[in-house]
């Protein structure tokens, strides 16, 4: 199956089964925004709940987890999306959270400078750089087609063109070569502007003030809410370093080119921990969180051979970071061998707490110093509040270092959906073949945990018993009652939703075989195997497998 085929199938499966819909679809949709349907919302809740439970609620502060440097505390937080504008000035987002983009003067389209890919193509003495926004598999075809058109040639003349081997991004070209560039949607060269900065934060206005006075931003990350509440958390909980603060919530980025389904969206959710520790221990905690978080994805059912941990090169590091590793997944929209980021684990040092206290630090200076304006004053003033921590046992006062595991809910959903999606084709005795989709979700994240069916819908005793079983289970886990159509069809519908277990109430349940009285058939999604379970044990049996 080609990359496009698989992605098209995933997108249409998600729509047809109510996992995800394009936002405002009836008005033509809004690029970069996605809604979660009835199944998608359950999948999303299960993921967030699994993270919240595993990272925070079931954390045992009295026991040292395997390979952790010591015991530690965890607490939770839920901060606002709109915060004081100074937060983003001190965090660095106001000055530095931008992408470079280029505009096409002809078509008015906008592209990310570092995403515009292309190749040098020559015919005789003329050499041009042909760019494309096509997916990797169609890139060469698109470049060839547009080069032929530019040089006024037909397909059969392709031999007259010389294609240079390397695919380059626009940002790698010399400035002097920009006039030779053919934009992705034009037929003439030299229409692309020089790159310009484009801040990714969404701007809004608070209250009745419409000018710059009332300007505020939708948060581009949940992290800053935790930093600016550091003192509140320490003062209100008697918590001691090392400790982590967990938060799950929406973030917004005005991405220039949202793409690849939900991978790069403009509105998305993050699950972030800011872990505060003593500077002398931060390297060890960084290692701990990298390994712990990678294992979490494996435990949630992502294939190990599609996951990897990649340490950032120095020039890739964010403005605040003194070390970052990404947990990456081989998403199906990427060519073989390429991976996309699921989560970043960053060693942020003391950048954030110091910036919010002293004023925005200059990320280029080592050691970090407050960035000054032309008059020698802090470029962006901090809160002036003391964000140091005093260890009450040693009396040492210090600014904690921060390790930040930052995960994207929507990217994880996309990874889980891609990972779960399986098609099987079977042929019946009449030679008719049927392709069926099974979503092999880990039971813990599966939107519906159990389907409950009476074998026949026109037998009141079967229906009454099935309803009774449904009533006892429904408050405990997501159940789906279905009495429509043949039993095989009902199994297939639950397979498409990714339901790990189906329970059928049949005549043996009613005592046709006395030894099977009050037992049901449980069918397993992944191998189709069936077993008989007493109704009295069913709830415990299921809960042990779906939590
Ligand atoms: N506080 C650090 C931070 O926000 P990031 O690497 O920019 O770091 C963390 O984002 C995670 O948020 C990413 O690994 C990804 O899963 C998710 N994420 C970031 N931008 C996203 C986008 N435009 N659409 C969907 N998810 C995104």
- The protein residue with its alpha carbon nearest to ligand 1, atom 10, reads 406
Question: In this structure, are strands 501-505 and 479-481 parallel, antiparallel, or unpaired?
Answer: unpaired
Tokens of 41: 């919302």
Asked whether the beta carbons of 501 and 524 are under 8 A apart, the reply is yes
Report CA(409)–ligand 1 centroid distance (Å). 9
Does 272 contact ligand 1 (Cβ within 6 A)? Answer: yes
d(CA 42, CA 447): 5
Judge if pTM exceeds 0.85.
Answer: yes
d(CA 300, CA 43): 12
Report CA(65)–ligand 1 centroid distance (Å). 27
Does 293 contact ligand 1 (Cβ within 6 A)? Answer: no
Which residues are 162's β-sheet partners? 122
Which residues are 361's β-sheet partners? 370
Task: Return the residue matching tokens 């967990």.
Answer: 246
Asked whether the beta carbons of 238 and 375 are under 8 A apart, the reply is no
3-state secondary structure of 360: coil
Does 505 contact ligand 1 (Cβ within 6 A)? Answer: no
Asked whether the beta carbons of 55 and 74 are under 8 A apart, the reply is yes
Among the listed residues 185, 192, 220, the one whose alpha carbon sits nearest the alpha carbon of residue 96? 220
Question: How many C-beta neighbours within 10 Å does residue 301 have?
Answer: 17
Asked whether the beta carbons of 33 and 267 are under 8 A apart, the reply is yes
d(CA 185, CA 107): 7
Tokens of 61: 């502060």
d(CA 334, CA 339): 7
Report CA(94)–ligand 1 centroid distance (Å). 17
d(CA 238, CA 245): 14
Report CA(56)–ligand 1 centroid distance (Å). 20
Report CA(53)–ligand 1 centroid distance (Å). 21
Atom in ligand 1 nearest the alpha carbon of residue 412: 16
Does 406 contact ligand 1 (Cβ within 6 A)? Answer: yes
d(CA 401, CA 399): 7
Residue 451 has φ and ψ, to the nearest 5°, of -100, 140
Alpha helices (H) along 314-394: 351-358
Among the listed residues 523, 499, 407, the one whose alpha carbon sits nearest the alpha carbon of residue 450? 499
Asked whether the beta carbons of 90 and 355 are under 8 A apart, the reply is yes
Q: Which helix (H) or strand (E) holds 154?
A: none
Question: How many C-beta neighbours within 10 Å does residue 287 have?
Answer: 17
d(CA 545, CA 224): 37
The tens place of each residue's pLDDT in the chain, 547 residues long, gives 666 688 899 999 999 999 999 999 999 999 999 999 999 999 999 999 999 999 999 999 999 999 999 999 999 999 999 999 999 999 999 998 998 999 999 999 989 898 899 999 999 999 999 999 888 778 999 999 999 999 999 999 999 999 998 899 999 999 999 999 999 999 999 999 999 999 999 999 998 776 777 899 999 999 999 999 999 999 999 899 999 999 999 999 999 888 899 999 999 999 999 999 999 999 999 999 999 999 999 999 999 999 999 999 887 777 667 789 999 999 999 988 999 999 999 999 999 999 999 999 998 888 889 999 999 999 999 999 999 999 999 999 999 999 999 999 999 999 999 999 999 888 888 888 889 999 999 999 999 999 999 999 999 999 999 999 999 999 999 999 999 999 999 999 999 999 999 999 999 999 999 999 999 999 999 999 999 999 999 999 999 999 9
Does 99 contact ligand 1 (Cβ within 6 A)? Answer: no
d(CA 374, CA 377): 7
3-state secondary structure of 329: strand
């Amino acid at each position: 199956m080609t990359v496009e085929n698989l992605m098209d199938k995933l997108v249409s499966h998600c729509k047809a089964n109510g996992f995800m819909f394009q936002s405002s679809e009836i008005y033509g949709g809004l690029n970069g925004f996605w809604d979660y349907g009835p199944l998608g919302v359950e999948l999303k809740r299960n993921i967030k709940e699994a993270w919240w439970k595993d990272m925070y609620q079931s954390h045992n502060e009295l026991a040292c987890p395997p390979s952790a440097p010591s015991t530690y505390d965890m607490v939770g937080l839920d901060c606002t999306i709109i915060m004081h504008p100074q937060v983003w000035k001190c965090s660095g987002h106001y000055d530095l959270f931008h992408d470079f983009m280029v505009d096409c003067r002809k078509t008015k389209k906008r592209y990310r400078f570092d995403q515009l890919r292309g190749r040098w193509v020559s015919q005789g003495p003329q050499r041009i750089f042909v760019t494309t926004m096509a997916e990797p598999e169609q890139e060469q075809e698109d470049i060839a087609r547009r080069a032929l058109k530019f040089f006024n040639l037909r397909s059969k003349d392709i031999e007259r063109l010389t294609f240079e081997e390397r695919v380059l991004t626009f940002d790698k070209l010399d400035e002097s070569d920009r006039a030779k560039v053919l934009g992705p949607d034009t037929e003439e060269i030299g229409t692309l502007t020089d790159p310009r900065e484009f801040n990714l934060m969404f701007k809004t206005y608070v209250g009745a003030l419409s000018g710059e006075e009332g300007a505020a931003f939708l948060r581009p990350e949940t992290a800053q809410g935790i930093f600016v509440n550091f003192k509140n958390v320490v003062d209100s909980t008697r918590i001691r370093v090392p400790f982590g603060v967990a938060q799950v919530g929406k973030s917004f980025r005005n991405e220039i080119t949202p793409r690849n389904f939900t991978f790069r969206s403009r509105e998305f959710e993050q699950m972030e921990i800011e872990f505060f520790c003593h500077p002398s221990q931060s390297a060890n905690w960084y290692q701990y969180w990298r390994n712990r978080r990678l294992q979490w994805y494996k435990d949630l059912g992502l294939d190990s051979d599609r996951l990897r941990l990649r340490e950032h090169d120095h020039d890739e590091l964010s403005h605040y970071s003194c070390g970052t590793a990404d947990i990456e997944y081989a998403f199906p929209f990427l060519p073989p061998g390429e991976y996309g980021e699921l989560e970043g684990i960053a060693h942020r040092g003391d950048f954030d707490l110091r910036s919010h206290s002293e004023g925005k630090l200059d990320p280029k200076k080592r050691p970090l110093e407050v960035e000054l304006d032309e008059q020698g004053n802090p470029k962006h003033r901090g809160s002036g509040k003391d964000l140091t921590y005093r260890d009450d046992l040693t009396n040492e006062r210090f600014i904690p270092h921060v390790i930040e595991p930052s995960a994207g809910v929507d990217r994880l959903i996309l990874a889980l959906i891609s990972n779960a999606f399986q098609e099987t084709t079977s042929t019946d005795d009449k030679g008719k073949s049927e392709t069926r989709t099974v979503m092999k979700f880990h039971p813990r994240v599966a939107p519906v945990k159990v389907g409950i069916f009476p074998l026949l819908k026109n037998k009141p005793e079967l229906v009454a018993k099935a309803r009774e079983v449904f009533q006892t289970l429904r408050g405990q886990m997501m159940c789906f009652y279905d009495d429509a159509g043949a039993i095989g069809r009902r199994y297939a519908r639950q397979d498409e939703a990714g339901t790990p277990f189906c329970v059928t109430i049949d005549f043996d349940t009613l005592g046709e075989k006395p030894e099977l009285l009050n037992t049901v058939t449980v069918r397993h999604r992944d191998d189709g195997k069936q077993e008989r379970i007493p109704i009295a044990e069913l709830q415990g049996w299921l809960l042990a497998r779906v939590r």
